[in-house]
Amino acid sequence: MSLCFCGSIVQPSPLICEPYFPWTSSSYPNRPFVPFTLRKDSKCISSGFSIPVLQQGIRVVSSDIDSFQNTVTETTEVKEEVKNEVARTVNGVTDTKPESKASRPSTTVKKKKEEDESFENRFKLRNGREIFQEKAYLVGVERKGGIHDSFGTQESLSELAHLADTAGLMVVDSTYQKLTSPNPRTYIGSGKVSEIKSAINALGVETVIFDDELSAGQLRNLEKAFGGDVRVCDRTALILDIFNQRAATHEAALQVALAQMEYQLPRLTKMWTHLERQAGGQVKGMGEKQIEVDKRILRTQIGVLKKELESVRKHRKQYRNRRFSVPVPVVSLVGYTNAGKSTLLNQLTGANVLSEDRLFATLDPTTRRVQMKNGKEFLLTDTVGFIQKLPTTLVAAFRATLEEISESSLLVHVIDISHPLAEKQIEAVDKVLSELDVSSIPKLMVWNKVDKASDPQRIKLEAEKREDVVCISALNGDGLAEFCNAVNEKLKDSMVWVEALVPFEKGDLLSTIHQVGMVERTEYTEQGTLVKAHVPLRFARLLTPMRQMCVS
Ligand SMILES: Nc1nc2c(ncn2[C@@H]2O[C@H](COP(=O)(O)OP(=O)(O)OP(=O)(O)O)[C@@H](O)[C@H]2O)c(=O)[nH]1
Ligand SMILES: [Mg+2]
């Protein structure tokens, strides 16, 4: 699989128009790995290259996330249960009676019809494109003792299901195993491997997704163990694929391509050992040599992408500097994916940023001006959402985009307070923010989706008790005035106190102070206007000569 993944990493980069890699479908017996949806240029996107022949008696399972939560199974019961259920289930009704001979032909026709229908139902429209939903099976591992993720295994698997759904897959079932330490060969134990294999056959699974990052060897061994055309991938590859689907701008495409290549590089190992096997072991080292060639090609590509990104970064910086010359404070919206950041930006500014109930709707930052009722202004930036177990390659690749965050006057942390895992999502966001080194920037917490919470009143009372928390509903606009006031107050905290004597001929400067700062007092003197105000630090520097005049 890892070999085939390269088929996709050449895809998103605008720099790599031609397939650079020698392992495209014609030269390698297996199909190339194409993570779920591909070829942005094509109208119909398949979630895989080949559509496998459907197995008999497929259990049609809803891809609905809530119903998925109940399908997580822990033990080896899956194998028998699935077998029995598949044998018995017809049209969702469990029939325990043995089939009579006479009824068999009509049942076969009925089953065939259902299969055709279920096949048809798997063509879905996503973002205006038709995709074929592959059937996915999810696997998690709970570590006994040792490291404890703040998200539980089942919670993390539910989120993985949401990610799979966002990527256009149909989650048919899932399982997890408690382990002291992962198996170095297959990540999970051999019993679990055969249990999953049975489920794959019974449910017609096309993709198995692991909730943790797998090594190249583990991916290869698992694919071999599951056999057939079953694709194995991990959470990181899934997230990278979603990013790949969502990348709408040149910069986002470059960043995703870079992240995919960096993910792929360590996974190239031993991909070419089949050459040695084909040559009967006589051409020793052939595979090794090929890996080196591939790695070199990949490293060259990474270098080209990094250079290209550097120039995009420079351009972005110039644009930011231009923006800073108008000293309106910048407020960045940060938070867990799907928290409602884009909805908030749209409500406050009338922007038209895509907001939907899927993960990672936003990849590129969007900045818009917000005019408050008191006439003051600030720039509001919407950013890419975070997630637990965020691949480090992705954070690194998106550094240019995330620089927006590090240069803002205030961070607004948007939280979906109606989410059962809100607390854990806050922790995950704080973890990424600490990696970005932005702890010195003031923060405001916003509890969003209060309308969706089971007890909105209790949430509001709770928020009142705490400092730095504002309750809103970005969707229906509740609490937006309070939000703007809180931003205003917070911005004041991030400003510096100045007393400056502004000459009368610099009237425009005086109006800018009123616009971006908090003016406490103005006095008209013979030399000019004496202003006492809180202003943004950058602006205070601009006023240095006038501050000195005031002192003298
Ligand atoms: N009920 C309710 N739904 C909301 C609210 N705010 C946002 N939503 C919904 O939550 C979903 C996600 O909203 P987005 O604004 O796309 O979330 P986001 O934080 O920008 O997500 P990413 O771009 O993926 O990081 C959408 O379906 C919104 O309609 C709210 O206040 N109440
Ligand atoms: Mg968004």
Q: DSSP string covering 4-28, please?
A: HHHHHHTTT-TT--S---TTSTTTS
Take residue 331 and report the two structure tokens written for it.
């407020």
Q: How many angstroms is it from 351 CA to the middle of ligand 1? A: 14
User: If you take atom 6 of ligand 1, which residue's CA is the nearest one?
Assistant: 340
Ligand located closest to 478 CA: 1
| pLDDT higher at 124 or 480 | 480
The best mutation among 166, 338, 349 to test binding of ligand 1, ranked by most ligand atoms within 8 Å of the C-beta, falls on 338
Which residue type does 407 have?
E
- Of 377, 434, 366, 371, the residue nearest 406 (C-alpha): 434
Q: How many angstroms is it from 365 CA to the middle of ligand 2? A: 9
Ligand located closest to 344 CA: 1
Q: Taking residues 295-312, what's their average pLDDT? A: 89
15: Cα separation from own chain's centroid: 23
Q: How far apart are CA 58 and CA 43, in angstroms?
A: 28
The best mutation among 159, 332, 342 to test binding of ligand 1, ranked by most ligand atoms within 8 Å of the C-beta, falls on 342
User: If you take atom 21 of ligand 1, which residue's CA is the nearest one?
Assistant: 338
| pLDDT higher at 206 or 551 | 206
Sorted by where each begins, the domain ranges of the chain are 2-276, 327-493, 496-551
CATH superfamily entry for domain 327-493: P-loop containing nucleotide triphosphate hydrolases (3.40.50.300)
Q: Taking residues 44-71, what's their average pLDDT? A: 34
Question: CATH assignment of 496-551?
Answer: 3.30.70
- Of 444, 362, 437, the residue nearest 403 (C-alpha): 437
Ligand located closest to 360 CA: 1
What values do phi and psi take at 386, rounded to 5?
-105, 170
Take residue 145 and report the two structure tokens written for it.
């003792």
Counted residue by residue, the chain has a size of: 552
Q: How many angstroms is it from 462 CA to the middle of ligand 2? A: 26
- Asked whether residue 462 carries a pLDDT value surpassing 60, the answer given is yes
Ligand located closest to 366 CA: 2
Q: Taking residues 281-305, what's their average pLDDT? A: 75
Q: Taking residues 237-241, what's their average pLDDT? A: 91
Q: What is the pLDDT of residue 545?
A: 81
Q: Are 2-276 and 496-551 equal in CATH topology?
A: no
Indicate the pLDDT class of residue 117, thresholds 50, 70 and 90.
Answer: low
Beta carbons within 10 angstroms of residue 105's beta carbon: 9
The best mutation among 343, 357, 470 to test binding of ligand 1, ranked by most ligand atoms within 8 Å of the C-beta, falls on 343
Contact 136, 167 (CB under 8 A): no
For the chain, what percent of residues have pLDDT higher than 70? 70
- Asked whether residue 50 carries a pLDDT value surpassing 80, the answer given is no
Q: How many angstroms is it from 245 CA to the middle of ligand 2? A: 15
Q: Is residue 380 helix, strand or coil? A: strand
pLDDT digits (tens, 9 = 90+) for 76-102: 344 444 444 434 333 333 333 344 444
- Asked whether residue 439 carries a pLDDT value surpassing 90, the answer given is no
Sequence-ordered list of residues with C-beta below 8 angstroms from that of 205, at least 6 positions apart, any chain = 135, 136, 137, 172, 173, 199, 230
Q: Is residue 187 helix, strand or coil? A: strand
Pocket of ligand 1 (CB under 6 A): 335, 337-343, 355-357, 359-362, 385, 448-449, 451-452, 473-475
Which residue bears the tokens 């620089």? 403
Q: Which atom of ligand 1 is nearest to the CA of 472?
A: 31
Cross-strand pairs, 501 = 530
Q: At what angle do helices 250-264 and 235-246 cross, to 10 degrees?
A: 160
Sequence-ordered list of residues with C-beta below 8 angstroms from that of 71, at least 6 positions apart, any chain = 61, 171, 173, 174
pLDDT digits (tens, 9 = 90+) for 355-407: 888 888 888 888 898 988 777 788 899 988 999 888 877 887 777 777 778 87
pLDDT digits (tens, 9 = 90+) for 248-259: 888 888 888 999
Which residue bears the tokens 């006492």? 532
The best mutation among 333, 355, 359 to test binding of ligand 1, ranked by most ligand atoms within 8 Å of the C-beta, falls on 355
Q: Which CATH architecture has domain 2-276?
A: 3-Layer(aba) Sandwich (3.40)
Q: Taking residues 96-115, what's their average pLDDT? A: 56
Q: Taking residues 427-435, what's their average pLDDT? A: 89
Q: How many angstroms is it from 335 CA to the middle of ligand 2? A: 10
Which residue type does 154 have?
Q
Q: How many angstroms is it from 518 CA to the middle of ligand 1? A: 32
Q: How many angstroms is it from 238 CA to the middle of ligand 2? A: 18
Q: At what angle do helices 399-406 and 250-264 cross, to 10 degrees?
A: 120
User: If you take atom 30 of ligand 1, which residue's CA is the nearest one?
Assistant: 449
